Structure 1
């Protein structure tokens, strides 16, 4: 199987460095060490993990990793049971394209995206000139991956990748990620205690796994580090542009467009899309039609375009998006919090429906319907 940059995750602690390890330059824009991790995301005793780490350390020199880097990388690292739980409990949850776009290109994300683009217009336009990748596309990937830097993850990467390598379900893959992460530390790009990301090892503003970081990360600012974690997103945005360029992006070609004659219709009865080779380049970032459409559509909206013209059909419960939004608003008005009114009926909305049904002595199903909407 060929892994794309994040395919493995989407199917969607450190000892002081010694003198023989290059230390990152100090930076006033570095993000603080994460705090407030959930209990199952903090190191817990595990004899099997300790034995695996000891074995890994014995063969680390064969990977070109120094003893000083090993000491630096594993100080404070440990077994994270929450990582294993999340890895084993991944479910194949499929959203409709309509729901996916309601999240990916929500009004909030569009507003934040236009503001982020305005703040970083100079950098984004310079990256487009250098790499040929549309500035809005780079910004949209940033928005989908970390909500423009708001949600980059705070799990220590050495702990997460070593835990998953020890667990063994995808042991060889995650050992490669662990080795790559240690080499990033050894190179001086980041210290182990600041190398944080998702539970599955994706890092920074645009969520690179360690091996992709090694292959594509860029020191755009010229400070000697490829700092995709910094409060300044320039290196991360440049790394994303470089990734797309080297994975087939063609300068001056759009990703695609909504089109009545399009051949791609991910949701039956919904809009059709005509796509280009650049759509396939986006899928190298995440091998999903919905993701690539989400990136393209969000990029268009950031650039000033309007909503999709085509309509989606009612869902399996006979509700349109407008119906679902109204249902959420009416439930919330009655004190049953749905967590927002975006038309996406996730677990919080289902719990609100159940609580409302229970309060009325109705059968508790958590399922929306036209009758439920009328009763509200």
Structure 2
């Protein structure tokens, strides 16, 4: 029992780290009380698995707890936070240059996910780890975008070799996968400024879901509602096109669903707690502007099932009631929320709950429905 309580304590800390003040409860203990008797190696392991090490480092500092972990461990976390801050600053500036080049080429586009979320959903950009610059545009504009970004040094059909330390040709098998599923183009890549950011990738998406998905929103509709967003902090901030809040929220949910529901993607790179935190933070900050319009879009495009799947697990993790608030209760039955899609198209079921999955990896048991 004591070991289980300790594990629960580390997980409770990570949940708080993930969403900040977006979710609060009257019986939540003060941070210093919650952090008493923590197994920091376990906490760091959970944070690493869920892409929350920079956020954890910042949370410890903000609560005067930075000296609580063993010194080498706190140094490692602080190093990750500074690295995340460095990457956020460079990628934000690069997003500004990419936006200028695409505008000049007459490409209609919007930035999505982390490059926008880092500022709009988080207290500090380094809290939300960034790997690349995500953008959405029509597939027919992808080549025009590639030609425009070639002037900034971006190359097509390339990937980064950790062994060689530079860009190399993308394997033919990966190129074939992109051709078979053209909801994304191969990343456009260029060398980065230093060893802390050895390459910069621009990920071009052409759908809110995936190729031949039964759930989708016409991209023309999505790109007709692009807004201007200010990203970055202070003098380093830039204004760039971004998806409307409704479409941005839906893209976060549908992208999470894709990575969690398909056996192929979940076994290769399963979802993490930070992705669910994006959902909670978005709902907490923009609930009033989302609620009515979001429900209309979900109904118009019959997105009940995938959105309810994601929001059910979000509610289970954080104790929120987003499924109920959106009137999706009837679409979040037990059989559906424990479903998955096999590589051969069969319907599967996975056991356990999302907490167990995020702590231990996917899945505890995966079998036929």
* Range into which the TM-score falls when normalised by the shorter chain: under 0.3
The one of the two structures with greater contact order (alpha-carbon pairs below 8 A, sep at least 6) is: 1
- Higher strand content, 1 or 2: 2
Normalising by structure 2, report the TM-score.
0.24
Normalising by structure 1, report the TM-score.
0.24
